[in-house]
Amino acid sequence: MAEAHAAVAFSFAITHEGFDINYDHEVLNLVWNSGVRSWKKRLARARNGVRNGVYPAHIQSLWLISAIALGLHFAGYQAPFNLTNRLLVHLPSNTINWQVTACFLAALVIWLSICFTMRYTLKLLLMYKGWMYESRAPGSRVSLPTMLWVAVVRVLSSWNKPGLYSFQGSLPRLPLPSVSDTMTRYLRSVRPLLDDDNYTRMERLAKEFEQNIGKKLQWYLILKSWWSTNYVSDWWEEYVYLRGRSPLCVNSNFYGTDAIFMNLTNKQAARAANVVSLLLNFRRLIEHQELQPIMVQGMIPLCSWQYERTFNTARVPGLETDRIVHYKDSNHIVVLHKGCYYKMLIYHKGRTLRPCELQVQIEEILKANATPLDGEEHLAALTAWNRSKWAEARNTFFSRGVNHVSLRTIESAAFVLSLDDEPFEFDLARPELLDNFGKKLLHGNGYNRWFDKCFTVCVANNGRVGFNAEHTWADAPVLGHLWEYIFGDDIYGYDESGDTKGTPEFQPPMPTRLSWDLTPCLSQIDEATMDVTKLINEVNLRILVHQEYGKGFMKKCHISPDAYIQMALQLAYYRDAGRFSLTYEASMTRLFREGRTETVRPCTIESAAWVKAMQNQSITNDERVKMLQAACDRHQLGYQDAMCGRGIDRHLFCLYVVSKYLEVDSPFLNEVLSEPWRLSTSQTPHGQTPKMDLKKHPNCISAGGGFGPVADDGYGVSYIIAGENLIFFHISAKTTCQQTDVQRFSENISQALADIRSMFEQHMKDHPKPAKSITNGAST
């Protein structure tokens, strides 16, 4: 009740003596400041909306054109199309004031015409994807159309400094492939996986689908591609993520690690405070649209749509489907420490708190000798539970009262900060420490991460950090961009004693405990805890640090590092499982508006032939090198097609969704969509922001991150090419499957990389002048 009274800013009562008015000046001041802050944000959004609407033109150019229009009119010259005089006819009179008004209106019409001409010219230019397929082999020449295209795009994209969303209106829509093209690509992708009889059967199913029901389904997709901004993204978010009923923990959420070769401070409160401050700075850049959009090769923009929900976002469970809730603003974060939840204000006296002030708040939490309420310590296990069960418990026990208020406090927070009471450790001589580091971030103990939140920042008691992120609202590159931004500035945030720099200007508001009444739902919390404990015990994780060589040697071989690693994974999996498997590699489609991901299928006819050649001692080394180059070329072409909207799987997925809406059964789609991805891979990008100067700070790079296995009998592999001589592999698998073993697979990856290196070294020794590369396309 004391907290409830403290929340009342104004009250009045009628007595026999008149009105009795009571108000809290401090709370009213907070309300006033909150309103002012809200209006400032609205005005900033309106200003940015106008700027983005006319980009790549300058808003200031309107005044130049207005001055020219005034000068022409009063000098006796006509404006283009005689606009000034034509507008003047419709105005009340011909006085000087109305003539000036007509000049401004004419200038506005001309300016808007120029703006939209520039904007749609840029949009037409960005539809061109021929640059993607240009050869980058030594000595190759860029085609004349691409050279001209580059020149014009550079002029338009550098005409004005872009904001975060400036290019959104200029990005093209994701193209819809034809059914015939998708069938051709699909059949080629499954050829190495099927014997002759099954391949013939699949050819028949594909042909029947293309000639019959496929045509009808495609017409509906054509309509959707015309009507919607992106014909895939909304269905992908709904059916792949929000309608999934499996726990988010391990199955959906992913994690990211610290820069493990650096140890900036051992003080938990200082590291947490500085990271929180940098995250809030990043949020401000997004809100003010001051964050520069990611530009491929410095001129081709990627879609920034996913950044909108980076903060103040939560996934809310539903009985049949979840929903993403994004709050426009939040002036607090929620801190989880030793099973207790705290609301921590991050905005006070008209500004965001500084790192030294945030450290004071966090130290107060660490010093508190608080005891969790009944059920509070294991409460977050509900977010790692089956989604329908969590939704039912939420509707029953968290829809009113203190539970509702506290749950809303968590969901409306900017993000969740978890202060762990254990260290995150790393030692090259003890690889199991890094494995445990990853496990603590992937799932923790099952109840010290709020898995529904956009992301949970995890800070260990030795100052190491990491995050666990919900996957629905964005893909890993967005979190990778945020994480790079943090590391770029985090190295400068501490003094000699390991504390944050600076001195607090005032005593910051102290964190307050969240209140709960969890007695009625203790049985649900206990059941969720048992389920998540079983889940995390079934998952094993191995983080392989490969330091023998990295992208430096791969480039020396004139092969894309991504293709090189994917071929190594194909060889490693074949040796591990004794067969080829359908392989998933995530590619991005953010060259298009609201684009997310597309699937690249690295297991190809060419890669399978090379893998078999590596196992056949009668094949010469030179033949193996040529076969690997051909396999890498094919992989690069598949990656380029995926990035350019010519992928296989998203088109098939959308055709399947339409078939379910129409209640039409398709044996072909049913079989295709049920195929398991036993090897699911993803590359963690880095170098997305120039803030991270790896030449100056070579150790300032994250070890990447990972995810759980997609199939119960498969592997999940995430890798980051961290430098010229460093690669990290995050390998996950289920312990309940006797066919998979993360330690064995990591050894197979190391051996595959060693064998490829030996193969190329022998080839270079036999041919002192490197053979001309036949690898085409952009390095990934």
Residues marked as catalytic: 471
Angle between the N-to-C axes of helices 649-661 and 213-227, in degrees from 0 to 180, rounded to the nearest 10: 100
CB 512 within 8 A of CB 3: yes
- Interatomic CA distance for residues 114 and 108, integer angstroms: 10
Residue given tokens 């090379």 in the structure block: 610
550-557, long-range: CB < 8 A, 24+ apart: 550/721, 550/722, 550/723, 550/724, 550/725, 550/726, 550/727, 551/721, 551/723, 551/724, 551/727, 552/724, 552/725, 553/725, 553/757, 553/760, 555/779, 556/770, 557/760
Structure tokens at 9: 């800013």
Structure tokens at 164: 């975060």
**Residue 494, amino acid:** Y
Tally Cβ neighbours within 10 Å of residue 98.
Answer: 14
Task: List b or e across 346-373, with b for residues whose CB sees 16 or more CB atoms inside 10 angstroms.
Answer: bbbeeeebbbbbbbbbbbebbeeeeebb
CB 71 within 8 A of CB 185: no
CA distances from 325 to 129, 238, 252, 315 (A): 35, 13, 18, 6
Angle between the N-to-C axes of helices 96-126 and 61-74, in degrees from 0 to 180, rounded to the nearest 10: 130
- Please count the CA atoms within 13 angstroms of the CA of 383 that sit on its side-chain side: 30
Instruction: Give 652's DSSP letter.
Output: H
CB 69 within 8 A of CB 110: yes
CB 499 within 8 A of CB 459: no
Task: List b or e across 6-27, with b for residues whose CB sees 16 or more CB atoms inside 10 angstroms.
Answer: eeeeeeeeeeeeeeeeeebeee
- Interatomic CA distance for residues 313 and 415, integer angstroms: 8
| Contacts for 704 with CB less than 8 Å, ≥ 6 apart | 256, 257, 684, 686, 718, 719, 720, 722, 728, 730
Q: Residue 360 phi/psi, 5° resolution? A: -60, -45
Tally Cβ neighbours within 10 Å of residue 662.
Answer: 12
Spacing of C-alpha 111 from chain mean position:
37
- Interatomic CA distance for residues 301 and 295, integer angstroms: 4
- Interatomic CA distance for residues 257 and 432, integer angstroms: 15
